[in-house]
Structure 1
Amino acid sequence: MDLSTRLSYLFGTEEYVTMRRQLVLLRETFLNHNREQKVHPICSGSLGEGVAFPKSDDDLMFCPTDLRVVTTYREATEAPDVLMVPSEFSPGYCRLLDVRGSYPNHVLHSINEIPFVSSSLWKQQSAREGQYIHGPCHSGVIGSQEYDFAFCIPCYNWPDIANNWVIRDRSYDWPTNEMIQNIVRNGCHVVPIGDPDSPCYEHEWRISFSLAERTLMHSFNHTQFLVYNLLRLTLKRVIEKGIPNVFCSYFMKTTLFYIAEKTSIQFWQLHDLEVCFKTCLSVLYDYVDNVYCPNYFIPEYNMIKRKINHTNRHKILDNLRVLHTKGIVDIIHLSGESMCLSATLSPIIMEWKLDREFMFSYHLHFAYELKNPFDPYHLTICNIVRFI
């Protein structure tokens, strides 16, 4: 069995991945079938991107339909509109100005008597029994499925700080102009988490491009998909064992985005999987060596500035050198992943997994379409401005 076939058995065949991606879109359509509902869920994270990784959380973003972020005062025409004020401390973060004084005091933080919607207070008000706050999310378990729910606010305009992403030169036409226009048209979201280095950390919001990232991930060919899974496997089963809580899969995704933009699609061929993977490791090595991993949409935002120190930097670099030398087969062995996992990707089991995920969405939908309009959780999530 050649390497690409083995990896397809481990991470998913091309047909299986296509089904997962179609399921994501079907699931989202199902969850948002009622146009009058006050919250629209968006499938995000690894499952939203079609990644079949063991024990992946179910990531959902919940976006209120009656709230929005605007980027200029002129656009703030509705009472709940909040103005995005870019952080003076951290690129990629912002504060949300309550333009018309519509928000309740217990989600506001005043700076020089100017009211801003506080991310930390927002999360506290959105919390539900059995959940705990994890970064910008509320985490918990439904049945046996772990989940991360982020209660965010949509911004239908593309933020100025990411304008250079739209116009920068791309020699290999990825992403395509059509993809870029579609991404810009869909805007972004803000999620309730600040930059820990900012003095306004508890009240800032992070600009999120989750929908854009999902669009980009869905455009990847199977080689790129396998390489991304290998990078995640390397992170979760090898690097994190010796150096926990430093890297995250988002760094791996960012690395892959930058390389995909700077290489021809002819580079990403199944027979060159080893070369593609080692190229990603080399770029990741440079990020760690320079202690600078630029955000894909906002390069001024260094995502590892707080993660890397003198001690762990050298340890990570040593790890990456060893991984680069050993190659893919040894990494799979080092990770402890058994090839018997291929049994979970048989056609019958695949069908069961897809059906199981769809049924989880079905139950989740009814869990959030609450019938009692005065249910306190319904008020908190669906009508946070009007009723809290």
Structure 2
Amino acid sequence: MEKEPDKINRTVNCLPSMPALPHETGTQNKIPEYFPELSFRISDVLDEIGAGERTVMERRETYLLRERMMTIAGQNSNHEYFHFGSQSEGTTTPGLNSDIDLLMSYKERNIMTDWRDWEAGMVNFLMLRDDITPPQQYLLQHIHKYTPEAVTIICEDRFVRKDSGQVLFSSERWKQEQEQVASRFGEVTKNGPSVSSIPEWDMVMAFPVCKPLPEIQHWIDRCRGRHWPPAQLLKAARKAPCFLVPAGHPDSDYKREEFRLSPNLIERMLMFSFNMTQIKCYIVLKLIKKTLFSKIVGDFVTSYHCKTLMFTTIERTHPSLWKEHNIMYLLLLCLKGLRKWLRLGCLPHYIIAGVNLFDGKLSMVKQKVLLQYVDYLIKNGLQDLSHIDIDNLGCRLQACCIRRIRQGGEGELGGVVLRYSISLLLKFGYLNRLLLSLTGIIYRIQSSNSTFQQGIYNTLRTAVQCFTNEQFKTVAFDHINHLYAVYNSVQSFKCLRLPNTNFIEIIRRFKFCLNTDIASSRLKLASLLYCFGHFHAAARALEDVEKRCHSKVKALCGVRQLEGQKDLRVFANMISDNCDNVRREPPFAFCVRFIREEAHCAPYVLWFEMNRAMTEEEVAQRNAHDKMWMDYAEVDACPFLHYLQYLTYGGQGERTKQLYALEVLESYILNSRNIINMHHPETAFNLLGHCYEMEGDYQAALYIYEKSLDIVCGFNTNNAANWHIQRVQRLISNLY
């Protein structure tokens, strides 16, 4: 088979000719004749590796939902949350392994562009800059709350005094404060303005600037009347807030005090205006950056450099050029733009004038080295694309591999399977963050001065108010569904203690929230039925759950993460042959949670999980995240299902079924392949140990409880097994 580019079979001779560009006159005649066909091939390959239109839009929708979820959950904290970057833009592939970028807009400070913006009762900061302040950088001067005058006394460690006497809010000290808070949740990673305790996340605190800024107005005036950006986008950009992030210029005398102005929302508008050809062109640029460029200059060329190249190229090219068959030529234009900026030693910021994006990133030496390679890449017709190994792109571009790749051969996920796997991964990520959000909400309610029921009611009312907003409707409904389930569970105890209990009404109310997932709400209902002696009804509910928990169901926990749980192959294995389960009901089973106010719904042994620490020293070992949930009972759905079956069949007097349920529970828990997929293995072992206790086999129970302590490193404290061991040891000693 012919592999050389100049021997590729031509199939696109009927395509319209490419218009000459103002900055590329004469280029039309120099385009290699294999470019159009290779462009189609690149486009097809990008579809195959998870950058097709449906996946791009699903990524965007999912991360916008996650933004709104966090905004609903944090309404009382006066924060607004934004996902920026590749994940929320949809401009990534599995092989790019893009981080999740989160910006937390801190709205409790009033940012003043001049003295007319001062607000009484607010902490006010005045944006300062002078002739020596680098472009895009600002200092924040502290202004009094109750009088429009500058503060002259330093009252907190976050403030410093400038040589001129002005009291400034220090960006570096603010970041140090964030680091102290983040360290309570785990190991902290710092990257530029980001301070994060979550692996693969960049988390940035920022102040919103809601007043008009000359930098933005200058850009709008410059772009007015051009074909791109469109006039409607420029109109929206005038109203969009910018953000001040804690990052100084590397060459500034005040880099520890400076904040960088970031027009993130405007840039997201620009990215959302891209058509699919532009999105694919940008993704290929990032693949070039991460593989070919990184071998030359390391990681000093960033995705933001690629994004800026895209902005400038789109603005300077005719819209009719951005078609699928032109991808190769358009990549060439972007690289020619980069070559021009490298020769000048300056890559200008697309929106904010006077900013050189090479500063602090790409030294002059590295610029020269990269220039030589970019020049070579252009002259050899981008043939080095075949050397890109991310997502096996280079191999996929070879004509001899296309058919095999599309069929998903030799370990590769086929296009359809990959698309649905990514869809499940996105849904998994959304639900994971939803459960974490609900954990935070319940923890705040329990820590507040109001009663739990009043707190739940107030939170539900807030969610219902959000439900009327079309943008927040989906997320608000998910919060209402889960919170209403907790509310019903707590209320049921009061109802069941009343004479002439209307049990049918309780079950009817539970039905409204059974579809939170495949198993957890149904298991909680079955547990309630068992605890109040309705064994036959509980058995029927458990039979329903057992039918739903097929082999393709994946456990999902909001408080513990498992290594490898986001591997796309895991999700590929969850897909049935016709992918119907992805379209209908995502096959996820949440961990079953009983908060203390729901103790009446939980079997007695789970009450020990709500008091798992034996000493104050054990409680002190918990990090801030653990403190949010370790006073609850959390158990994986599958072992809890079999444990409840054991209890329920015992209550019915069906000994054969009871012993079979115990056998299934043993088989599931003691199988090492299942252990590595359980989020709460220590609790599962405790349930099995309790079964042995009820069987009167105290030695086996003691062995299993001890196994609970050492099954995974770190579970020997804050583990209810310590209580069970003491109890069983007393029982054994009494026997002798």
Please give the TM-score of this superposition, normalised by the length of structure 1.
Answer: 0.88
Change (3 A) 1:169 1:46: closer
Could you tell me which residue of structure 1 aligns to residue 354 of structure 2? Answer: 300
Give 1:226 deviation, angstroms: 0.6
How far, CA to CA, are the matches of 1:7 and 1:61 in structure 2?
29
| 2:179 aligned with 1:137 | no
Q: Which moved more, 1:354-363 or 1:14-23?
A: 354-363
| 2:124 aligned with 1:81 | yes
Give 1:173 deviation, angstroms: 2.4
Of 54, 57, 63, the residue aligned with 1:15 is 54
Give the partner amino acid of 1:83: L
Of 167, 180, 183, the residue aligned with 1:115 is 167
How far, CA to CA, are the matches of 2:357 and 2:380 in structure 1?
27
How do residues 347-362 of structure 1 correspond to structure 2 at under 5 angstroms?
Answer: 347-362=419-434
Give the partner amino acid of 1:276: L
How far, CA to CA, are the matches of 2:386 and 2:414 in structure 1?
13
Give 1:113 deviation, angstroms: 2.6
Could you tell me which residue of structure 1 aligns to residue 63 of structure 2? Answer: 24
How do residues 158-197 of structure 1 correspond to structure 2 at under 5 angstroms?
Answer: 158-170=212-224, 172-197=226-251
| 2:45 aligned with 1:45 | no
Give 1:170 deviation, angstroms: 4.9
| Aligned residues of 1:11 and 1:229 also touching (Cα < 8 A) | no
How far, CA to CA, are the matches of 1:345 and 1:286 in structure 2?
42
1:174 partner SS? coil
1:105 partner SS? coil
Give 1:151 deviation, angstroms: 0.6
How far, CA to CA, are the matches of 2:247 and 2:290 in structure 1?
24
1:299 partner SS? coil
Could you tell me which residue of structure 2 aligns to residue 288 of structure 1? Answer: 342
- Residue by residue over 1:128-153, the C-alpha shift from the partner in whole angstroms, topping out at 9 and shown as x without a partner, is 11213211001343xxx510100111
Give 1:314 deviation, angstroms: 2.3
How far, CA to CA, are the matches of 2:362 and 2:418 in structure 1?
41
Could you tell me which residue of structure 2 aligns to residue 210 of structure 1? Answer: 264
2:81 partner SS? strand
Q: Point out 4+ residue stretches in structure 1 off by more than 3 angstroms.
A: 34-37, 101-104, 169-172, 305-310, 325-330, 334-337, 339-345, 363-370
Of 178, 184, 193, the residue aligned with 1:126 is 178
Give 1:343 deviation, angstroms: 4.9
Could you tell me which residue of structure 1 aligns to residue 142 of structure 2? Answer: 98
2:203 partner SS? strand
Identity, % of aligned pairs?
24
1:59 partner SS? strand
Could you tell me which residue of structure 2 aligns to residue 381 of structure 1? Answer: none
How do residues 358-377 of structure 1 correspond to structure 2 at under 5 angstroms?
Answer: 358-363=430-435, 365-366=437-438, 371=444, 372=447
How far, CA to CA, are the matches of 1:262 and 1:237 in structure 2?
27
Change (3 A) 1:173 1:362: same
Give 1:11 deviation, angstroms: 4.6
Give 1:281 deviation, angstroms: 0.3
The unaligned stretches of length 5 or more in structure 2 are 1-39, 145-150, 397-411, 450-622, 626-736
Give 1:196 deviation, angstroms: 0.8
How far, CA to CA, are the matches of 1:367 and 1:312 in structure 2?
48
How far, CA to CA, are the matches of 2:284 and 2:264 in structure 1?
21
Change (3 A) 1:220 1:368: farther
| Aligned residues of 1:24 and 1:50 also touching (Cα < 8 A) | no
Please give the TM-score of this superposition, normalised by the length of structure 2.
Answer: 0.48
1:202 partner SS? coil
- Residue by residue over 1:309-348, the C-alpha shift from the partner in whole angstroms, topping out at 9 and shown as x without a partner, is 4432221012112322444563143345414466586342
Could you tell me which residue of structure 1 aligns to residue 312 of structure 2? Answer: 258
| Aligned residues of 1:107 and 1:118 also touching (Cα < 8 A) | yes
| Aligned residues of 1:123 and 1:133 also touching (Cα < 8 A) | no
Could you tell me which residue of structure 2 aligns to residue 384 of structure 1? Answer: none
Give 1:37 deviation, angstroms: 3.3
CA RMSD of aligned residues (A): 2.6
Change (3 A) 1:26 1:327: farther
1:36 partner SS? helix
How far, CA to CA, are the matches of 1:183 and 1:7 in structure 2?
31
Give 1:159 deviation, angstroms: 1.8
How do residues 59-78 of structure 1 correspond to structure 2 at under 5 angstroms?
Answer: 59-78=101-120
Change (3 A) 1:91 1:352: same
- Residue by residue over 1:104-131, the C-alpha shift from the partner in whole angstroms, topping out at 9 and shown as x without a partner, is 5211111133111110000011111121
| Aligned residues of 1:47 and 1:58 also touching (Cα < 8 A) | yes
Could you tell me which residue of structure 2 aligns to residue 346 of structure 1? Answer: 418
How far, CA to CA, are the matches of 2:287 and 2:413 in structure 1?
14
2:200 partner SS? strand
Of structures 1 and 2, the larger Rg is shown by: 2
- Structure with a larger share of its residues in helix: 2
- Residue by residue over 1:267-309, the C-alpha shift from the partner in whole angstroms, topping out at 9 and shown as x without a partner, is 1110000011110000011111110111111121111134444
The unaligned stretches of length 5 or more in structure 1 are 379-388
Give 1:65 deviation, angstroms: 2.6
Give 1:183 deviation, angstroms: 1.8
| Aligned residues of 2:196 and 2:203 also touching (Cα < 8 A) | yes
Of 238, 259, 262, the residue aligned with 2:292 is 238
| Aligned residues of 1:172 and 1:263 also touching (Cα < 8 A) | no
Give the partner amino acid of 2:231: N
| 2:322 aligned with 1:268 | yes
Give the partner amino acid of 2:63: V
- Asked which structure has the greater RCO (Cα within 8 Å, sep 6+), the reply is 1
Give the partner amino acid of 1:349: S
| Aligned residues of 2:62 and 2:427 also touching (Cα < 8 A) | no
Give the partner amino acid of 2:277: T
- Residue by residue over 1:226-277, the C-alpha shift from the partner in whole angstroms, topping out at 9 and shown as x without a partner, is 1111111111111112211421111110111111122222111100000111
Change (3 A) 1:343 1:328: farther
- Residue by residue over 1:39-81, the C-alpha shift from the partner in whole angstroms, topping out at 9 and shown as x without a partner, is 2211112112222233211110011232232211111114212
Give the partner amino acid of 2:112: V
- Structure with a larger share of its residues in strand: 1
How far, CA to CA, are the matches of 2:293 and 2:438 in structure 1?
39
Give the partner amino acid of 1:107: R
2:256 partner SS? helix
Q: Which moved more, 1:274-283 or 1:354-363?
A: 354-363
Change (3 A) 1:106 1:134: same
Q: Which moved more, 1:220-229 or 1:320-329?
A: 320-329
How far, CA to CA, are the matches of 1:9 and 1:104 in structure 2?
58
| Aligned residues of 1:43 and 1:59 also touching (Cα < 8 A) | yes
**Count of paired positions:** 374
Change (3 A) 1:325 1:170: farther
Give the partner amino acid of 1:16: T
How far, CA to CA, are the matches of 1:351 and 1:247 in structure 2?
30
Change (3 A) 1:324 1:373: farther
